[in-house]
Amino acid sequence: MNTQTKCDEPWEAIHRHLVERQGLDLSRYKETYLKRRLLVRVRALRLSGIEAYARYLVRHPEELGRLQKALSIKVTSFFRNRSCFEFLEERVVPDLLQRSASRRHRVAAWSAGCATGEEPYSLAALFASALERRPGAPGQTGGPRIQVRITGTDLDEHALQSAARAVFPARALLDSAPPGSARHFVVRPDGTASPSEGLKGMVRFERESLLDPIGRRDLDLIVCRNVLIYFSLEHQERILSLFAAALSEGGYLVLGRVERLFGEARSQFDVVSARDRVYRRLPSGATAGAAVARDGGGREEVLACA
């Protein structure tokens, strides 16, 4: 056995352990980043090196969560991927509010892998603006009052604490907010901004792994963008099936642009927007067929979810 193989063995053992126990696929990470983050845990535990850490990981299963947190890449912003939020604002949010009014049922949304909260608050701002335009809003008459509940989940407890504090750089918000959405945030003289009390009332946060059993049912919207790519294909397929089971008929699933719907869940959705990875849950027993979706230029085309 050569020296290179001996050096690689601890890394391979850690990789295998994370895939089997957490579903986390280390092949998605750059090697330099991965080694740097692993060494942070080695130093924190005062271990002699990677080989000692690989042995420690087997004996201390609670370390898996700490390692996954250390590997997490927190890249998020308000209204990230503007075209996706424009599509949600134009097509998805009005449809969900209309369905909610007809069923006398509140809108239930889930931001899975919400990091520090920018995504769920962005969603809340879209709903708040749409609710203002509906009959029954303050200053208008008629129409049932609709409640919106958005649950943001993440495995990183510190990120969730930041989300709950809800204090963000104002420039990051103002540079990305669609017209009308910025007014749902309070901008302070010190350069920070926070969601209004109305937005905060729509959003709650919970610590949760996507591999945990999902107790939610009858959801109207699940947004899980740029999270699945860090899981093995086997675990991605499992998570997508859980999403399908958690959504109500006609509910929407939004994935990241580099992610795709596959496996058993694929037959349970139609494509709504291929460009923005928006899918709609089919009624039980129905099969995915042709669906109208927008292409990259905003035109409409017929796609087959096959």
pLDDT tens digit sequence for 77-99: 788 888 999 999 999 999 999 99
Helix, strand, coil percent values for the chain (each to nearest 5): 45, 20, 35
What are the residues whose beta carbons fall under 8 Å from the beta carbon of 184, sequence distance 6 or more? Answer: 124, 125, 128, 129, 195, 196, 198, 199
Residue 229 vs residue 291, higher pLDDT: 229
Angle, helices 31-44/63-71, rounded to nearest 10 degrees = 140
Is residue 236 included in any domain, yes or no? Answer: yes
Range of the domain at 283: 82-304
Among residues 27, 42, 71, the one where a domain terminates is: 71
Question: CA 18 to CA 105: how far, in whole Å?
Answer: 40
Residues 152 and 221 reside in one and the same domain: yes
Residues 47 and 17 reside in one and the same domain: yes
Give residue 180's pLDDT.
81
What are the residues whose beta carbons fall under 8 Å from the beta carbon of 263, sequence distance 6 or more? Answer: 236, 237, 240, 241
Mean pLDDT taken over the chain: 82
Is residue 76 included in any domain, yes or no? Answer: no
Residues 124 and 64 reside in one and the same domain: no
Is residue 77 included in any domain, yes or no? Answer: no
Comparing 21-25, 67-71, 109-113, 170-174, the range with the smallest average pLDDT is 21-25
Residues 66 and 141 reside in one and the same domain: no
In percent, the amount of the chain with pLDDT more than 90 equals 44
Indicate the pLDDT class of residue 158, thresholds 50, 70 and 90: confident
Residues 290 and 141 reside in one and the same domain: yes
pLDDT tens digit sequence for 228-254: 887 888 889 999 999 999 999 999 999
Question: CA 67 to CA 51: how far, in whole Å?
Answer: 15
pLDDT tens digit sequence for 124-143: 999 999 999 876 554 444 55
Give residue 181's pLDDT.
87
Among residues 49, 71, 93, the one where a domain terminates is: 71
Is residue 263 included in any domain, yes or no? Answer: yes
- Three-class SS of residue 304? strand
Question: CA 182 to CA 177: how far, in whole Å?
Answer: 6
Say whether pLDDT at 3 is over 50: no
List the CATH number of the domain containing 131. 3.40.50.150
b/e 279-300 (16+ beta carbons within 10 angstroms → b): bbbbeeeeebeebebbeeeeee
Question: CA 221 to CA 118: how far, in whole Å?
Answer: 17
- What's the one-letter identity of residue 237? E
Residues 115 and 52 reside in one and the same domain: no
Give residue 156's pLDDT.
82
- Residues 280 and 288 sit within 8 Å (Cβ to Cβ): no
Residues 55 and 175 reside in one and the same domain: no
Q: How many domains does the chain have?
A: 2
Residues 62 and 96 reside in one and the same domain: no
- Residues 200 and 150 sit within 8 Å (Cβ to Cβ): no
pLDDT tens digit sequence for 175-232: 788 878 889 999 999 999 999 999 999 999 999 888 777 788 899 999 999 888 878 8
Question: CA 157 to CA 159: how far, in whole Å?
Answer: 5
Is residue 97 included in any domain, yes or no? Answer: yes
Assigned token pair, 306: 């096959």
List the CATH number of the domain containing 48. 1.10.155
Which runs of E-coded beta strand occur in the chain?
107-112, 148-154, 168-169, 185-187, 192-195, 203-207, 219-224, 247-255, 269-273, 278-281, 290-294, 300-304
